[in-house]
Structure 1
Amino acid sequence: MNTRRPPVCFHSCRRGSAAVEFAFVGPMLILLLMGMVVYGGWFWLAQSVQSLASDSARAAMGGLDGTERRALATAFVADQARVGAGLDPTLIAVTVDSDAKAIRVSLAYDAHAHPILMLAGPLPKPPSLIRRTAVVRVGGY
């Protein structure tokens, strides 16, 4: 009775090849997925800041002078940042410039401590300061 096994040919053995291939490709796929989440989240934040700037510029239209327009825009940002956009209103700097033709509202959001940007890890991070501007014409169409 022969109980001896035939010799194993390693160059034709395919067991474990999927695990080795995944070890090569897996980290790149995980980094790609993390990049999509981080940059997608950053684009969501940037769009939220832009939307808030546009809405606050429209809210400032009710003011009669520059001081009242600035107060209206700042109050709108403080009121709607967390509710409508999911942003921390304490991290938003509001600048309002107005003249006879237009009202310009500029927002700068400091997102350096936002959880989306914390996920970046070894990836190159998008800018942590998001600046967006909205302009509404007052008259003279």
Structure 2
Amino acid sequence: MTILPHIPARRAPLRQDERGSLLVEAAFAVPLLVSLLFGLLIYGSWFMAAHCIQQAANDAARTAVAGLDAAERRTLVDTSVAASLAGAATVRAANVTVSTSLNQSYYTVTLDYDLTTVPLFRAILFPLPAAQIRREAVVRLTAV
């Protein structure tokens, strides 16, 4: 019985060697995918916050119709906005500014939400549609 010496296998030339190519491809693809997912999260949160602010303004304007004078309307608006934003996960009620105005028989409720103090929107690499969300709702008061 003859023992043959161990002959190492011939390695392919470097340009044909595909070992490690998956690691190189992942090094390019993973940061792009993470950035894409993070961008989706940020923009989705921004649009959800804008929707919550608009709904709170709509509810407050509808509630203001029940008020008999300006002071009662403002109290109803503030109460309605606080109730609407209490359950909103994407909006900090402390950062929302409420203003109202009466022009002839049209009552306007305006909500401004400052995003510069919200940590999720401060530490982003993507530009937001706006750093402040401003939404209005108008109702007509028939008894004015």
Distance 1:73 1:64 in 2: 13
Q: Residue in 1 aligned with 2:102?
A: 98
Pairwise CA RMSD: 2.1
Matched, 1:37 2:9: no
Q: Give the C-alpha shift of residue 110 in structure 1.
A: 1.8
Q: Give the C-alpha shift of residue 114 in structure 1.
A: 2.8
Partner of residue 124 from structure 1, selected from 113, 124, 127: 127
Q: Give the C-alpha shift of residue 118 in structure 1.
A: 4.5
Give yes or no for contact 1:109–1:129 (8 Å, CA) kept in 2.
yes
Distance 1:7 1:102 in 2: 82
Q: Give the C-alpha shift of residue 68 in structure 1.
A: 2.0
State the identity as a percent: 35
Give yes or no for contact 1:104–1:136 (8 Å, CA) kept in 2.
yes
Aligned residue-pair number: 138
Distance 2:11 2:73 in 1: 86
Q: Which runs of 4+ in 1 moved over 4 A?
A: none
Deviations 1:81-111 (A, max 9, x none): 113x233322211111124422110001123
* TM norm structure 2: 0.83
Matched, 1:10 2:11: no
Q: Secondary structure at the residue paired with 1:133?
A: strand
Q: Give the C-alpha shift of residue 63 in structure 1.
A: 1.0
* TM norm structure 1: 0.84
Partner of residue 137 from structure 2, selected from 134, 137, 141: 134
Q: Secondary structure at the residue paired with 1:123?
A: coil
User: In terms of Rg, which structure is larger?
Assistant: 2
Q: Residue in 2 aligned with 1:79?
A: 83
Structure 2 residue ranges without an equivalent (≥5)? none
Distance 1:49 1:7 in 2: 64
Matched, 1:27 2:31: yes
Equivalent AA in structure 2 for residue 98 of structure 1: L
Q: Give the C-alpha shift of residue 24 in structure 1.
A: 1.3
